[in-house]
Amino acid sequence: MAELFKGLERIEEARERLTGASFMAGVFVGRPDFALLLPPPEPPDERAAGEAFCRKVEAFLKSHVDPEEIERTAKIPEAVLKGLFELGAFGMKIPKEYGGLGFSFTNYGRVLTLIASWSNILSLTVAVPQSIGIAMPILLFGNEAQKRTYLPRVAREAISAFALTEPITGSDAANIQTEALLDRSGAHFLVNGEKLWCTNGPIARYITLIARVPARKVLQDGKPAWVPTRAGENCDDKVHTAFILPMETPGVTVLERCQFEGCRGIENAYMRLKDVRIPVENVIGEIGKGLKYAFTILNVGRAISIPAICLGMAKQAWQPTLDRANSRITFGRPLAERQTQRMRIGRMATDLFAMEALASLVWHLADQKSYDIRIEAALAKTFCSEKAIRFLKDAQIIFGGMGYETAESRQARGEPGFPMEQLVRDAEMYRIGEGATDILRPFVAREALSPHLERARVYLEGRLTRAAKRREWLRLLRRYVPWYLGLLRRRPLPDRVELRHRKVSEKLLFAERASRRVARTILYAMARYREALRDDQGRQNRIAEIGEDLLTIAATALHAETLQRAQGDGQVWDLADEFFREAVTRVDANIAGLVRNADHPPAAVGQRTLRSQYPSLSSGIIHRGLHDYIRKD
């Protein structure tokens, strides 16, 4: 039970406890600290700098970037990339002392949203080097020489990328096989392996490479550390390590530029590394910390980049969808007059408002630097990517056949060339990239259960004598009885002006009550289901979905209050209220589902299906399995 999720042992080893303030960590133990959601306001000069840069980028996009050309040719013109480098768009988060703009995460998110509203492909190309390319790992974990050497280059001239995934691993990052072996001289690592889905790989000058290094464990200054073993020496393990790899290094071969359902302009590489020599100076940080570094930098993409791009895509579709609903006449009436479409438009408006509220909040939390936002980042990524897909599919329904036909085809006969079907195709990538939804939700559940697993680790590991187990149980009982009783008492909201608004307090008080309910129910589920909870992704998903809704309830309430106070826009409460109404129903159902649910019957049918117990489902067709589609030539 201590290793809660089967198959994630190496990820568990790389995981560190929450070290900074985390609103969501408090939510899952019944003690949400709403003051954490009210950090100091954004400095006016920072906001002004971001908005001024947005105006420059907007002018550049309108005059130099043709999104239709990018989609048609599946290529971003070199002149566009050069122009963005000249503006500084590839160095937004790099400090000024290293040649960047030194922007806040909030300003970075604003710019990515703007670019994505014109071309999500271009926004992703700009985001990757700054989220998971070499800039972030060097900034966070590199030495000063690496910062002075590489950061000015990637800020102004060189695209970078991230090489983690491999053909047989997918999201299972801990089981990569690419190996970096220290040569006998101790001066270079010799790297062999393959990497897949390396975004920007074909056009990158540098990549952050995660590879496994044969190493032995030693004590340094009284602490355990990994030291690489040289060729021919025995090792204790092969540990994940991060490297800076120049793409022109001999032995690096891009075997294929991957093609996808959408995101046609993305340069994505399948590459082979054969006897690639990387100097020891190119190790980022410590040997054996590569997986930890990878998870840390992925937080930036989850918290900032993916929500920003999804928000930009949804906003791009918003006005054309309203125009279509108001102008399309069916059976003598506009679509906008039909209740079905009004309900759909209302849901889209609510989703768009919630996406912006949650994204803005998480960006602001990231700017505080002292917060640990790994849970909030995962929830922002899953929420915004899932809502963007629903939003765009709703828009496509309103467009009807025009939303299924390509923009180029419609333009040929004089129709507006809005790329509705392209946006739908492209959006799916953001559900998958930087942690698929079905991976991130168990991750969130693991963090939610973490305090209980730490306290009960000795008891749950089951290696105690009967007497020792009784003593440990009594210790836990003394700890949990007061804790549980404390969850029956309501905690007042912080005395802050933002929380005195009636509608804000109503929503946050519900979130506080629900937090205490879910904390009690999680404890009950752990006590009742124990080891079975390890593989129970239905319950794990519910824990994550509850957290997602409670965080977004708070975000939408605070966002509406801010807009009303700053702009006098009281109508936004319609949107916050509607999200709250829907979320309350989901939260109640998910908390109940942690105890009793109907997950077993469909899972059992699925298990029997995988054992081929329903042969009639494959009858009446030309039968072909997956491997029948491998090309024989």
For 46, what's the count of Cα atoms within 13 Å in the CB-facing half-sphere? Answer: 17
Cβ–Cβ under 8 Å, residues 280 and 186: yes
pLDDT tens, 535-558? 899 999 999 999 999 999 999 999
Q: What is the mean pLDDT of residues 570-577?
A: 96
Instruction: State the pLDDT at residue 1.
Output: 43
The length of the chain is 633
In angstroms, the CA 542 to CA 594 distance is: 7
Instruction: State the pLDDT at residue 260.
Output: 93
Q: What is the pTM of this model?
A: 0.94
For residue 75, list its beta bridge partners: none
171 confidence band (pLDDT: 50, 70, 90)? low
Q: Which one from 194, 421, 434, 548 is the annotated catalytic residue?
A: 434
266 confidence band (pLDDT: 50, 70, 90)? very high
In angstroms, the CA 290 to CA 272 distance is: 20
User: Is residue 434 among the annotated active site residues?
Assistant: yes
In angstroms, the CA 578 to CA 348 distance is: 11
First vs last C-alpha separation in the chain: 49
Cβ–Cβ under 8 Å, residues 521 and 547: no
Q: What is the DSSP secondary-structure string of 203-263?
A: G-SEEEEEEEEEEEEEEETTEEEEEEPBTTS--SEEEEEEEEEETTSTTEEEEEE---SS-
Q: What is the mean pLDDT of residues 53-67?
A: 98
Q: What is the mean pLDDT of residues 464-480?
A: 86
222 confidence band (pLDDT: 50, 70, 90)? confident
Instruction: Collect all residues with Cβ–Cβ distance below 8 Å to 399 and sequence separation of at least 6.
Output: 321, 324, 420
Average pLDDT of the chain is 93
- Alpha-carbon separation of residue 450 from 209, 245, 380, 523 (angstroms): 30, 36, 20, 11
Nearest one of 363, 380, 332 to 110, comparing CA atoms: 363
What does the DSSP 8-state code read for residue 21?
A: B
pLDDT tens, 110-147? 999 999 999 999 999 999 999 899 999 999 999 999 99
- Residue ranges of domains in the chain, CATH in brackets: 44-156 (1.10.540.10), 160-289 (2.40.110.10), 294-436 (1.20.140.10), 440-598 (1.20.140)
| DSSP H or E run through 196 | strand 188-199
In this structure, are strands 223-228 and 206-220 parallel, antiparallel, or unpaired?
antiparallel
458 confidence band (pLDDT: 50, 70, 90)? confident
Q: At what angle do helices 44-64 and 105-118 cross, to 10 degrees?
A: 20
462 confidence band (pLDDT: 50, 70, 90)? low
Residue 269: burial class (beta carbons within 10 Å; 0-12, 13-18, 19+):
buried
